[in-house]
Amino acid sequence: MELISTVKELHKKLPGYEFTPEQEKALADYLAFLREREDLLELIQTYHDDIFDNKKYTLAQVEALPEKDGKEEGFLFAVLFLARYERMDEVLGQRGIPSSYKLGALKKYKESLEKSKTQYGSYGLRGLHRYSMVNHLIPLEYRIGRLLFEITKFNSAFEVYRNKQTGQMISVALPGFQYMPTGKRPPSTYTGELFEPYIRQDGDSMECFTFDEEGNFSSTPITIKISDYEKVLQTGDDVLSVHIPADGRMTPDLIDEAFALADKFFADHYADVDFKAYVCSSWLLNTDIKEFLNPESNIVLFQKRFRIVVTTVNGYSLFWHVFGTPTIGPLDELVPKNDFQRKFLERVKAGQTLYNGYGYILR
């Protein structure tokens, strides 16, 4: 996909994107510089082809490119991604997807520009704010109603078995992961006892470990008869990962609508892919926070949709998600503005580790 001509014309299209005046000026200034630099234009083409055609997605994790007259600061990737967005109609059309579905990528792009400016000091895309744009532009991630849905592969610390007669689900813990006596994954500072699960098969019997209703690992082994079960979710399966944009309430009716629309969208446009489940890894699925939430709160009702199986440490959620700050700093600098923030902060100051919960909904 020849991109250089698109880049050279981008300055004419900036007003149509409705950027903030500051964002538009920063991009316009860099584009004026870029149009005279054939070496950088060719580099943009190379990065585009490698990332989007050759699937070398990790190239977008490059922390910094060599400075070009002091103007890089992530702007080369900001331009690359905007030029890719200009070609999204063609990309979406290959699966018959309406062009309106590219608007979620533009919204994410604007948000990423602003977050990058706050954290790094310029509107160029850097760090996580750069890498998080890739899935929106491949595209493997779509905004559908209130939620984002990402096409990915299942890769977690468990696999799911279903009893052929009763339909009972068992989440079997995989070897290679360690747990504290509490059943949670250990933070980096933990120095106490750890338990690692195993799976032992003897003929038609399998001894293994599973998780309780709160998603905590249970160190008491169970034995199942293998022929009574079928594996319904395993490593490498195609799944849809659910993300929750922080731009409004997540009422049950909006979540219902999003899942219903997603069912239809992926049936219509990805009928060739057998998605086994919806999965979600989020601080919102941390079952510990139910201690200070109303049982009928939107967060608790969202948790109930999923079978929450395992937790992973997420120390940044207090800053990034609860308080909305771009960097991790001293706790004393966080000033609660509501009861939710206050209770969250109290628990962290008391030494409680924050986690992501990981859950699934079989499709």
- Tell me the domains of the chain and their CATH numbers: 4-139 (no CATH), 158-231 (no CATH), 236-362 (3.40.630.120)
Distance CA 173, CA 211 (A): 8
Range of weakest confidence among 87-96, 164-173, 302-311, 342-351: 342-351
Written as one string, the DSSP assignment of 316-356 is THIIIIIS--SS---GGG----SHHHHHHHHHHHTTPPPEE
pLDDT tens by residue, 156-176: 999 999 999 999 999 999 999
pLDDT reading at 325 higher than 90? no
pLDDT at 143: 95
Written as one string, the DSSP assignment of 188-228 is TT--S--B----EEETTEEEE--B-TTS-B--S-EEEEGGG
Beta-carbon contacts of residue 337 (< 8 Å; ≥ 6 apart): none
Asked if residues 145 and 252 have their Cβ atoms less than 8 Å apart, the reply is no
Q: Which phi and psi (to 5°) does residue 200 adopt? A: -120, 125
State the pLDDT confidence band at 312, using cuts at 50, 70 and 90: confident
Q: Which phi and psi (to 5°) does residue 193 adopt? A: -65, 140
Handedness of CA 197, 198, 199, 202 (dihedral sign): negative
126-163 burial, b for 16+ CB within 10 Å, e for fewer? Answer: bbebbbbbbbbbbbebbbbbbbbbbbbebebbbbbbbe
pLDDT at 63: 54
pLDDT reading at 32 higher than 80? yes
Asked if residues 233 and 155 have their Cβ atoms less than 8 Å apart, the reply is no
Q: State pTM to two decimals.
A: 0.91
Range of weakest confidence among 141-150, 241-250, 328-337: 328-337
Distance CA 222, CA 212 (A): 12
Distance CA 317, CA 321 (A): 5
Written as one string, the DSSP assignment of 134-192 is HHHHTT-EEEETTEEEEEEE--SSEEEEEETTT--EEEEEPTT--B-TTSSPPPTT--S
pLDDT at 83: 97
pLDDT reading at 154 higher than 60? yes
pLDDT at 65: 61
Separation of CA 247 from chain center: 15
Helix (H) or strand (E) holding 244: none
pLDDT tens by residue, 95-147: 999 999 999 999 999 999 998 898 888 899 988 888 889 999 999 999 999 99
